Structure 1
């Protein structure tokens, strides 16, 4: 993913970026900017390294005084706003269209050159996030100014612009991917809770999604806090029920009985897995393992059943580690036997390294794992 992201910074991108900058900066030149950016080390830089380098080059063209540089950024946003979609409107289908393509550079500029000017930077973040996402920036400021920033995030949770409200949640996620770690909030997420209380029923789906993801982050370090919130919020509205269900997805995959029971997914002696078998006992890297089983519901009434499977991946040291994948969650008729077939790909991905050898699969229903079956992965 990072590889594809870093390739967005090409000459046409810089042409558009510099043309916009020239609206507020007199000394801009596309050729000069591109020459400085695409130096001899350019191809060797990763995504984050490229962002940092572009920001360094941008700084050469910006006013030396940080407050003046932020004023130029504000003028730039005013200039480009007239040709962009109305970012103040809630658009739950086209989030990517509401993102300024070079917003990440403006974000990083504030983080890099404004970390010592809290007041100016907070104003900049609030403005910029109405055009793009700023959650990586807020993490840096939370680390340095946690009390002040969390008060600000709480205020932002009531902001009229949905992008600012989303930042109030997304910007304090304890386990946000690619972002600076927030160890104090991992240990004690109490400052986050009032923010989520304000946003759990937000009119914007993107804001509610952020709340759900924040809940999921918290559940990995403080499951009881999330369980208590889920019980408190359950049934308040359809939107809130979706938020807590999505926010409890890790707890559901872990088979947490309190959460399973909360969503009507309790264990039942009359539900079982039968005729579980792996159809491809030996597969090569890049192929898929195929398996099938029967889901038996011997209850006289229909039952809601959450079906998952766990892959026990072999690690480099030979030990196994399980990852759970959802198949479905739906109602099954009483006195029914349902055949389920599934494939799982072992094509190369950037987020996991596959090691040859024996692997295992287990089927899981309502958090209960059935017996395991083995297959072999070969190079």
Structure 2
């Protein structure tokens, strides 16, 4: 089972610290007597402190190549023996990266290797150079992966060809035209694994940023009476729902324009320091004559370094509000720095969104 990684952790690069590299060296030597462990450690630790997580991962892959004695095919067999001995999902991605760096001229061996390695550490990054080099041939293999018995392999079929996969090279051809991935998404539209369904939903959400009509048409032909398919649709439509897109709202059974009034909305405390929590509370009262399905979100307008705001929308609640009924909502979150977001002092506006419409505003001051 792959280990889940918090990509917001400041010390994420320490997954590949010297102790981990020494562990990889020992385990590789255990499965290959001619492996040069000293050479590997010298190369893999060269300039290590200045490198980020992805740079360290690639350095491990290139250092393995330099310290292993065989050709590509022979080294792949060594790395297959090594894979279950690494014991960490993200660290194991270095094995797939070896394929990405050195397998360009060995397509069939490389595809089989990525299929194997993804069960220990996802091959989602490593398959992308092959997509960029030969899209149709690689997608044909990935469509087969979509029918695999292993959930990690099925997830790779979707995750690896996401057009805008985070931390990875984009696939311009699929950003321009997503239709080549349709057979893969079709095979996975009711997958029993939540792990796989999350990938399919994220893949469709990526597509919806460039081709909303294509995504809506695709989802419109899917069986929403299937709870697994309906789950994918709800999460795939999240960006359009946050924009109040009427077609997306209708697809998940939500009402159109929200017939509600916001009696109260509070963001507390009024001032916080970095690392402290804010709380949002609100009371909604229906003004409709019938029940409504409402998608309630909230948006924080984070202050950027230059003082301008950057809006980020968060999910709050999906609810069915009866005619004339009221509902109290609350949520809290910690305001802290991530590798993907640095906070700056200033007033942060907070919007309450119902079916994509801003119905109330509040805010807090961040002191740094």
Whether these two folds match at TM > 0.5 is: yes
Distance 1:9 1:318 in 2: 36
Q: Conserved in 1, the CA contact under 8 Å of 2:18 and 2:45?
A: no
What residue number does 2:11 align with?
4
Q: Could you give the per-residue CA deviations for residues 294-342 of structure 1, whole angstroms, max 9, x where no partner exists?
A: 2002345443322111112233333333211111112334422233344
- The change in CA–CA distance for 1:236 and 1:304 in structure 2 (over 3 A counts) is closer
What residue number does 1:65 align with?
71
Alignment of 1:40-59 (within 5 A): 41-59=47-65
- The change in CA–CA distance for 1:287 and 1:76 in structure 2 (over 3 A counts) is closer
- The change in CA–CA distance for 1:202 and 1:312 in structure 2 (over 3 A counts) is same
- The change in CA–CA distance for 1:202 and 1:53 in structure 2 (over 3 A counts) is same
- The change in CA–CA distance for 1:321 and 1:234 in structure 2 (over 3 A counts) is farther
Q: Could you give the per-residue CA deviations for residues 108-137 of structure 1, whole angstroms, max 9, x where no partner exists?
A: 111111123223212221222233310101
- The change in CA–CA distance for 1:378 and 1:61 in structure 2 (over 3 A counts) is closer
> Pairwise CA RMSD of aligned residues?
2.6
For structure 1, the residue ranges without an aligned partner over 5 or more in a row are 85-96
What residue number does 1:166 align with?
155
What residue number does 2:173 align with?
184
Alignment of 1:30-179 (within 5 A): 30=37, 33-39=40-46, 41-76=47-82, 80=84, 102-179=91-168
- The change in CA–CA distance for 1:211 and 1:105 in structure 2 (over 3 A counts) is same
Q: Conserved in 1, the CA contact under 8 Å of 2:12 and 2:53?
A: yes
Q: Conserved in 1, the CA contact under 8 Å of 2:292 and 2:321?
A: yes
For structure 2, the residue ranges without an aligned partner over 5 or more in a row are 1-6
What residue number does 1:313 align with?
302
2:169 alignment partner, SS class: coil
- The change in CA–CA distance for 1:367 and 1:356 in structure 2 (over 3 A counts) is same
What residue number does 1:93 align with?
none
1:264 alignment partner, SS class: coil
Q: Offset at 1:198?
A: 0.8
The TM-score, its normalising length taken from structure 2, stands at: 0.88
- The change in CA–CA distance for 1:45 and 1:196 in structure 2 (over 3 A counts) is same
Distance 2:302 2:81 in 1: 52
Query: May I ask how many residue pairs the two structures share in their alignment?
Result: 361
Q: Conserved in 1, the CA contact under 8 Å of 2:146 and 2:184?
A: yes
Distance 2:174 2:208 in 1: 12
Structure with larger RCO (C-alpha < 8 A, sep 6+): 2
Alignment of 1:14-29 (within 5 A): 14-28=21-35
1:233 alignment partner, SS class: coil
Distance 1:376 1:23 in 2: 56
2:100 alignment partner, SS class: helix
Q: Offset at 1:259?
A: 0.8
What residue number does 1:273 align with?
262
Comparing 298-307 with 234-243, greater Cα deviation is found at 298-307
What residue number does 2:4 align with?
none
Q: Does 1:224 align with 2:213?
A: yes
Distance 1:367 1:137 in 2: 37
Distance 1:56 1:198 in 2: 35
